[in-house]
A and B are shown apart, each in its own frame.
Chain A
């Protein structure tokens, strides 16, 4: 992960022809290097020459082959330009043997032999079982050379080896022909067998990192670009592994990639080409800027306020899109209130803000919002979603303890590392220390392992429970090492019903289900503890979890908070922060994570930073260049409000609180500690069940059911017809229709109505009163008209969305 960030640091794009990689060292006689002639408009068709063919030759496709120790300069000529790369050849005369771990395994992996559908399946295929994508070379070596009475290998006649006969389809093979005789793949297997099948050893060099060339390319739809990948080994060697890499595109609407690293652009935008080799993952980014007319002055209009703006701007420039204009004061205020505290500004607050002429009024309003009680309620609610607080499996007394612990933590602005750490270091009564109820909800090591990785690390580990994760680097072994960290969590009944006491046990282990023995407890890729260590295993876990060096912990929560304000995670889905899921702006996410850690995991600091950025304060209105942008934040992404926020806002504007069974009158939806509270409205509008830790449990999708509920359901209709609400107050005060509309617009939309929209509404209201009848009938008619107008406002897009 560290190397990933380093490699994704901004790169300046070549202004003229260059050869990639610019310097090459061929350190064995079998080393090869594919070169690319890269020009400003992408890969160029070049002719290649070597200054010293006695040392190294280059073919017409730019492939360099060693001849003898020495140096050469390889020159590419294209479009009247030339560029060079230096080549050093070493050990060209030294004997060379293919290495099982670093050559044979990559061949099998690339050809798909050990994939899930073939011999990498849990049960293998036809008696031949390899580890999925070669995660255990020692085991695979044993299977290939010793199992089946050793008949898979023929040392005397390598070509007669079952391994090669099957792979080349000389004898029937369910997987068809995977390897053609005469290819490099064939030669590697044959020569490795001829050399006596040297086994993998602990001293084999391991892959420590990957490099992609080009790291980034700007191309046009239809254009093609080859990608070259080099692996760095622990012995310092660097090899071209382009041929063995697994390629995939995260956005096939922008770019496709084939098995050999050739990218073909299919549309405008940016795609991350995922490069997987030997459980290491990096990206090469290919960008096809939109065909917009954007001038430098369009970018100058965007006033940057902090580093978020610098990095967002860099992305827009690379894609040739211009940001929308700045949001108005009205838009900003309503937006900030909703995103920060889940409430609407009152009519008075709006008026006050609009009349304030000071330059720093937005920053001051942000500071005030971050101190409000409603802010605490809102984020306590969000973190309760994450922690699955619910009376479904917790008695009310401890459900409250859990909720109050979260609420207190938000109120005290407890740093995120302490919030998470406190759960895993505490012992005692869950009634007294609410955090401990986490261990009531997740009782066994399996559940704990999967929940903690999802909630705090954004990693979905479930696959690795039964076998190695097919899409990620996590192995079943790592899974059970992690699970063993939770093997000694003791739980016993506490002083009252519902209460439990959590304590550290001194013994107990979780067995690996196939090895049938416990493994040294270790947090994912962290340091293991000895099985007999006296240390509290949970404490060991907590230390790893919340360490600034943990590459996932801060990243996961930063992405969640960003998504909550900006409408979409930099990584999407918001809780799928695996390495193969590229961020839409990695530089920005990395910078936010770094800043978050530097500020002591202070969530409120991060929120303040986002709120104050010019990117957050952009208008949601698209311009001619960013209509289709949904992921680079060049306009504020409009989003439907969460159900609880809509319900509370309806209560606020109508002046009629929602009654929740068992809760005091006036309790807002966002103050509920529990999702078991009956509410048809909240169910229709996508309230999560808090059963599994999954951001998708909450739904923002509009549905016919929601429309039916606001049209026909009791929730909104009863608020409008209530005798003690805003409508009644208006009538009692005898407000004119015009003043009344002003007030409703301020409280529902946070703005005054424009003349153009006010007039038709006024005439509609006036017309509705043109009925004959008693004074009472007339009063009823007016009241109903007001209710209906308010209904129209409270079900409009402007109300239901944050924008």
Chain B
């Protein structure tokens, strides 16, 4: 099916040129249609009136609460560490001197200072729990929150509902990375993974457009013929991978055919000044890209700040190789986050998107209150701080508190499951919603009775 825009010159016959391809192709909705939405309504309430989004910043490695957003200036030197607190634009809230730009927009975000989890103190457990609300066990692969949203709401326009930037988290030392996929919801709900570096000068989504030597007519014909060839063989019907292959082709065609989808990924359309405000690095440009994607209809964007904790400067400040030194918070990781995060919140707010877009920023655990002999801090799931903004969250406040050394929650202890519940709540998803697990066993999106952090939503 070919649709032509009248205001563009077009060559006919075999001469439909590459640019015109952008207007060709059957534009069926990506992934799931109305029927699926209807069937899911049966599973749980989806607040259709609520057009809410989420950007999840995974601060891989685990930021130290004591060197970021929960300073303990009165503690002994081996606890308080090398950094000093600074005032923010909200009286009474102080954060580390490593985040001067964040200090100027503290009215836009809330800090939860009483996070903890009780699973093993390895990166993987925290990643699983922060991204799914649960620990991987009993063979049940719980879905990432963004995939749940994609499943419950379906796509908006031609863009995938959940996009992961720039790449999945790789090896962080434990067993396999769990929690980044759609898990038991099925691979068709997996995020669209960019697999490219948006800060690369030649950045583009790999193979988004046909090559010059291929006309739109032929791309369309190939698509039809492929469907014809595939129709005759029935043995793939029970294979989930085979069904998924079909669905990825379908999604690829939808993405190619949509000008809006394509442009959302074109970072060069942004003024240079804006790009620089976010920081000309992988994380900064991913945050900017996230804003564009949300504007284009993506519902959930996950950004992994780092892919691993080995041989790379990250939040994982053990102080010795192959991990990172504590000084990187001042020299590299801190400024990188500071620029991107403050710009993202400011821009979303200016464009009126912050109210309906929750921005969460967190690591998988905190770090030992006491500085270790290598001058770093080790894993500490007993207490850490996270950032919550937008999507109804009232900024400029602190929820919960840690003890004198940032070693344990003193007030309002909060679990990863509650953070998941908070995000679902902001997205308008009923916490009683059940998802279809293996063999149709219903699995609640969060364990029954898990409360969202309600204080975040009250002034």
Residues of A at under 8 Å CB distance from B? 116-117, 121-122, 248-254, 266-269, 460, 462-463, 470, 573, 576, 619-622, 627-628, 638-640, 680, 684, 691-692, 694, 696, 700-709, 711-714, 717, 721, 754, 756-757, 760-761, 764, 768, 781, 784, 788-789, 791-793, 795-798, 800-801, 803
Contacts and interface: CB of A to CB of B under 8 A. Distances in A.
B49 interface: no
Nearest to B311: A691
30 contacts: A250-B138, A252-B138, A253-B441, A267-B441, A460-B175, A463-B122, A573-B176, A621-B235, A622-B237, A640-B245, A694-B171, A701-B241, A702-B245, A707-B248, A707-B252, A708-B252, A711-B222, A711-B252, A713-B206, A721-B213, A757-B232, A761-B229, A784-B218, A795-B226, A796-B226, A796-B229, A797-B230, A797-B233, A797-B236, A797-B242
Contacts of A269: 439
A267 B438 contact: yes
Given A702-B248, A707-B252, A798 B230 contact: yes
Nearest to B138: A252
Given A621-B235, A713-B206, 9 more contacts: A116-B121, A253-B437, A253-B441, A460-B174, A621-B234, A757-B229, A768-B221, A784-B218, A803-B235
Contacts of B244: 701-702
Interface string B108-144: 0000000000111110000000000000011110000
A703 B255 CA distance: 13
Which 3 interchain pairs have the tightest Cβ spacing? Answer: A707-B252, A117-B118, A253-B438
Given A711-B256, A717-B213, A791 B207 contact: no
Nearest to A118: B118
Contacts of A639: 241
A430 to B, nearest CB: 23
B228 A117 contact: no
Contact of B211 (A694, A696, A714): A714
Given A620-B235, A621-B234, A803-B235, A708 B439 contact: no
Given A704-B251, A712-B210, A797 B245 contact: yes
Interface in B424-444: 437-439, 441
Nearest to A249: B138
A717 B214 contact: yes
Contacts of B221: 768, 788
A346 B249 CA distance: 28
Nearest to B208: A708
A470 B210 CA distance: 51
B225 interface: yes
Chain B residues touching A, range: 35 or more
B236 A803 contact: yes
B332 interface: no
Contact of B229 (A121, A619, A793): A793
Contacts of B219: 711
A717 B138 CA distance: 45
A329 B340 CA distance: 60
Interface in B171-202: 171, 173-176, 187, 190, 192-193, 195
Nearest to B240: A630
B239 interface: yes
Contacts of B252: 704, 707-708, 711
B182 to A, nearest CB: 11
B238 interface: yes
Interface string B244-264: 111011011101100000000
A178 to B, nearest CB: 15
A696 B176 contact: yes
Contacts of A800: 245
Nearest to B187: A701
A784 B217 CA distance: 11
A680 B226 CA distance: 23
A717 B219 CA distance: 11
A470 B240 CA distance: 33
A708 B229 contact: no
A638 B222 contact: no
A788 B238 contact: no
Contacts of B195: 684, 705
B195 to A, nearest CB: 6
A176 to B, nearest CB: 13
B296 interface: no
B399 interface: no
A791 B241 contact: no
Nearest to A268: B439
A638 B226 contact: no
A793 B193 CA distance: 27
B245 A711 contact: no
A257 B192 CA distance: 37
A576 B176 CA distance: 10
B122 A706 contact: no
A122 B121 CA distance: 9
A245 to B, nearest CB: 17
Nearest to B228: A760
A704 B248 contact: yes
A721 to B, nearest CB: 6
B238 A704 contact: no
Nearest to A254: B439
Q: Which of A251, A700, A711, A721 has the most CB of B within 10 A?
A: A711
B233 A756 contact: no
B245 A791 contact: no
A290 to B, nearest CB: 11
B138 A248 contact: yes
A704 B122 contact: no
A692 B171 contact: yes
B230 A253 contact: no
A709 B138 contact: no
Interface string B1-40: 0000000000000100000000000000000000000000
Nearest to A754: B232
**Residue of A254, A702, A784 contacting most chain B CB atoms (<10 Å):** A702
Interface in B237-294: 237-239, 241-242, 244-246, 248-249, 251-253, 255-256
B320 to A, nearest CB: 12
A375 to B, nearest CB: 25
Contacts of B229: 757, 761, 792-793, 796, 798
Given A267-B438, A796-B230, A709 B206 contact: yes
B139 A251 contact: yes
B209 interface: yes
Contacts of A713: 206-207, 211
A253 B236 contact: no
B232 A708 contact: no
Contacts of B120: 116, 463, 470
B235 A792 contact: no
A782 to B, nearest CB: 13
Contacts of A692: 171
Nearest to A462: B173
Contacts of A793: 229
A593 B85 CA distance: 61
Contacts of B173: 462
Contacts of B225: 761, 764, 788-789, 791-792
B207 A801 contact: no
A156 B44 CA distance: 60
B209 A712 contact: yes
A702 B251 CA distance: 12
Contacts of A620: 235, 239
Most buried by B among A253, A460, A754: A253
Contacts of A251: 138-139
Nearest to B221: A788
A797 to B, nearest CB: 5
Contacts of A638: 235-236, 239, 241-242
Contact of A792 (B119, B176, B228, B233): B228
B441 A266 contact: yes
A764 B237 CA distance: 25
Contacts of A768: 221
Contacts of B122: 463
